[in-house]
Amino acid sequence: MDFAGNTGCYSAFVVWSRSAITMFVDAFSKQVFDSKESLSTAAECVKVAKEHCQQLTEIGLDLTFTLQSLLVKDIRAVLQSYKDIIIEATKHRNSEEMWRRMNLMTPEALAKLKEEMRSCGISFQQYTGDDCWVNLSYTVVAFTKQMMNFLEEGLKLYFPELHMVLLESLREIILVAVQHVDYSLRCEQDSEKKSFILQNATFLHDTVLPVVERRFEEGVGKPAKQLQDLRKSTRPVRINPDSTTSLV
C-alpha cells in the first residue's frame, strides 16, 4: 500500500528484499549447517524460517522461491549425510542381531517406548504384554524409531525441489532393514527363531511401512509410489525359506 502510487519504487523494494534474504540465508546457513547442528535442530530452524517467509507472502511479498533456491543445497547435503549415518547405524545393529525379544526391564521404560511409538503413529500394543517384554527385536524397534524421526524431520526440511532426495533417502534406509530380515529368514534353521523373525518382518511390512507412506503423503501432498512399490516387493508371505536368492 505504501508504494501504490509509485510502482518503480516498489520494484526497487522487491530487489532490495531479495538481497536482504540472501544475506539472511548466508548467516542462517553458517549458524545452522556449517556448525554441524543435529538434524532435529536444523529442521526446526528451517521450519521457523519457512513460517516467517509465509508471513511475508500473506502481505504480498512472496520470497518463498528465493528462500528455497538458497537453502536447497545445504538441506540436500544434510539429508544425505543423516541418511548415511542411519544406514551405517542400522548395518552395525544388524551385524550384532541375535533375534531375541526385547526386555525393557521396568514398566516405566515400556510405557515410554509405547508413548514414543504412539507419537510416531505406530500401532504397538499387540507386541507388548503385561510384563516388560516386547515381542520384537531391539534392532527392529531401534530402526523404526530412527527412521520415523528422520521422516518427521525431513518433512520439516521439505521443499518441492527435494522431493526425490527425501523419497530416495527413505527408500535406501528401508531397504537396509528389509534386506536384513529377508536374509535372516532364508538363513535361519531354527523354526521357533524363524517364526520370531517373520513376526518382525510382518511388523515392518504391515505396520511401519504403511505409516511411513501415509505420513509422507500427508506431509508433501503426493503419494510415495516408490515406497509403495518397495513394500509390495518385500511382502513377508512371499519369502521362501529355502530360497538362496533375495526377493528384495
- pLDDT tens digit string along 163-212? 999 999 999 999 999 999 999 999 888 899 999 999 999 999 999 999 99
Q: Tell me: pLDDT of 151 over 70.
A: yes
Question: Where residue 247 falls among pLDDT bands split at 50, 70, 90?
Answer: very low
Backbone angles phi, psi at 163, to 5 degrees: -55, -55
Q: Tell me: pLDDT of 6 over 90.
A: no
Which of 50-59, 223-232, 239-248 is least confident? 239-248
The residues, any chain, with a CB within 8 Å of residue 13's CB and separated by 6 or more, are 3
For the segment 146-167, the average pLDDT, to the nearest whole number, is 94
For the segment 54-73, the average pLDDT, to the nearest whole number, is 92
Enter the pTM of the model. 0.86
State the residue for C-alpha cell 517467509. 53
d(CA 222, CA 237) in angstroms, rounded, equals 28
State the residue for C-alpha cell 525431513. 154
Question: Under a CB-based contact definition with an 8 Å cutoff, are residues 63 and 94 in contact?
Answer: no
Question: Under a CB-based contact definition with an 8 Å cutoff, are residues 234 and 206 in contact?
Answer: no
Question: Where residue 236 falls among pLDDT bands split at 50, 70, 90?
Answer: low
Residues in the chain: 248
Q: Between the CA of residue 125 and those of 13, 28, 52, 109, 129, what are the distances in Å?
A: 57, 42, 39, 14, 8
**Closest C-alpha among 49, 83, 81, 87 to residue 68:** 49
Question: Where residue 238 falls among pLDDT bands split at 50, 70, 90?
Answer: very low
DSSP-derived letter for residue 122 is: -
**Closest C-alpha among 18, 97, 102, 26 to residue 56:** 18
For the segment 38-65, the average pLDDT, to the nearest whole number, is 92
d(CA 212, CA 137) in angstroms, rounded, equals 20
Q: Tell me, rounded to whole angstroms, the distance of Cα 248 from its chain centroid.
A: 20
Q: Is 103 helix (H, G, I), strand (E, B) or coil?
A: strand
For the segment 83-87, the average pLDDT, to the nearest whole number, is 96
- Output the 3-class SS for 125-151: HHHECCCCEECCCHHHHHHHHHHHHHH
For the segment 141-152, the average pLDDT, to the nearest whole number, is 95
Per-residue pLDDT at 241:
44
Which of 34-38, 219-223, 239-243 is least confident? 239-243
Quote the cell numbers at residue 38: 543435529
Quote the cell numbers at residue 69: 533456491
The contacts found for 105-111 with CB under 8 angstroms, 24 or more apart, are 105/132, 106/132, 107/132, 110/134
For helices 138-157 and 107-120, give the axis angle rounded to 10 degrees: 40
d(CA 18, CA 21) in angstroms, rounded, equals 5
